[in-house]
Amino acid sequence: MAYSPPKRTWRRRLAHSLKGWSRVTFSRESYITSLKSLLWVVPLTVLIWVYAEREQVTTLPNVTINVAPPVGVPGRLLARFAPGTIHTIHAELKGPQSSAEEAKEILESGTIALDLERDLTPGDHTIVIADVLNRDSRIIAKGAEVRNCVPAEVTVTVEKLSEKLLDVKVRPEDAKGLPPLVFVPAKVKVVIPDSVYNKAETDNRLFVYPNLKPYADELAQAGAHNLHVALLPGFEDALDATTISPATITATFDRATTEDKFPFGTFSVFAGGPNTPRADQYKAVPVAWGPGLPDAFTIQNVTVIGPQDKIEEIRKRTQEGPYGPHAFFDVDYSGDPQTPRAPAPLHFVLPAGVRPSDEDAKRTIEYKLVPRTPTNQ
């Protein structure tokens, strides 16, 4: 009779199966395999999470953008904003969180020219600001979008520039007392917007003039002179778009070499000085001043020297400025007002090229400080 092993119960069979499964599953080899998998699965999961976070779409409000009109065609066309146009735009910026801030920095870091898609032609052009900004390659590279601009549109005026030859001449308001001047060249090339040209023509100001202010002393000196002078438009150029070529010219003149003198019997002197609270409380008066005496300053016997034509104007009492030839001194308001003041040197105000004699140039004046009252203001 053959031997038959006892029949196992289902519990024993289950326990045996689990034991075999655990021996295979939790073997040393399986642990090593799982650990290797974790070494790349966990970092990859973190990277995916970070990327998803960075690519999350966000909207940045109140982005401030400074805009400029399109660049015109040099020498041919001028592009400018219409009067009253707002140059600062406020907008929203939509894009990936990772690059939206970078796009915002690009938009706010400088002025952006609003270039037109179409060719520039004279006249008014309406520009949709968001459309222009969203064509910027830098914004496209960041995956961002400009939206809800305020204002949404601007108007750009394109104007023709014309090239003209204009005379170089002294402005009528500058001509007084000047010697005859010869300009080389006598005409210069000017590139000017049509609207500016038309207004200058109407105002009879179609010329350019030499800036002679820095040369006032030289212009008053006797002898032959060559000056290199900058040119300025003789007309109003509100657009600041006119160019002058060449920008400087040579001005030559030869003033008569003979000088003349003129003696002033009485010469007016004025008190000057800093605008301080002490100046509102005290005033300078002649050192010999007293009640009932005049408080005006004068000096006696002043001789001035200069070109004959300038001296002739002084002799004829042709004044330059509201006071004519005069001198002034600086008042010292420091310290105790009752303390005697040191004699003050005089500064002479004379026509260009005219000077006081060497002796008079060294003169000083004595004064004192007295309180201001309603009767001696």
For 262-319, how does the pLDDT look when each residue is reduced to its tens digit (9 = 90+)? 999 999 999 987 888 888 889 999 988 877 778 889 999 999 988 888 888 888 876 6
* Mean pLDDT, the chain, whole residue set: 82
- State the average pLDDT over residues 159-178: 85
Global pTM exceeds 0.85? no
For 49-97, how does the pLDDT look when each residue is reduced to its tens digit (9 = 90+)? 555 555 577 888 888 988 888 777 776 777 887 777 778 889 988 888 7
Task: Quote the pLDDT of residue 233.
Answer: 94
With CA atoms as reference, report the closest residue to 228 among 191, 186, 184, 187. Answer: 184
- Give the chain as a 3 state SS string: CCCCCCCCCHHHHHHHHHHHHHHHHCCHHHHHHHHHHHHHHHHHHHHHHHHHHHCCEEEEEEEEEEEECCCCCCCCEEEEECCCCCCEEEEEEEEEHHHHHHHHHHHHCCEEECCCCCCCCCEEEEEEHHHHHCCCHHHHHCCCEEEEEECCEEEEEEEEEEEEEEEECCCHHHCCCCCCCEEECCEEEEEEEHHHHHHHHHCCCCEEEECCHHHHHHHHCCEEEEEEEEEEECCCCCCCCCEEECCEEEEEEEECCCEEEEEEEEEEEEEECCCCHHHHHEEEEECCCCCCCCCCEEEEEEEEEEEHHHHHHHHCCCCCCCCCCEEEEECCCCCCCCCCCCCEECEEECCCCCEECHHHHCCEECEEEEECCCCCC
Q: How far is CA 285 from the centre of its chain?
A: 44
Residue showing tokens 């309406």: 126
* Rounded Cα distance, 190 and 149, in Å: 39
* Rounded Cα distance, 127 and 50, in Å: 39
The domains located in the chain, with CATH, are: 57-159 (2.170.120.30), 169-255 (2.170.120), 259-371 (2.170.120.30)
CB atoms within 10 A of CB 127: 20
* Rounded Cα distance, 274 and 116, in Å: 55
* Rounded Cα distance, 252 and 235, in Å: 24
Task: Quote the pLDDT of residue 168.
Answer: 94
For 17-51, how does the pLDDT look when each residue is reduced to its tens digit (9 = 90+)? 666 655 655 556 665 666 566 666 656 666 655 55
With CA atoms as reference, report the closest residue to 159 among 74, 242, 80, 67. Answer: 80
Paired sense of beta strands 187-193 and 243-245, if any: antiparallel
Lookup: tokens for 227? 């000056």
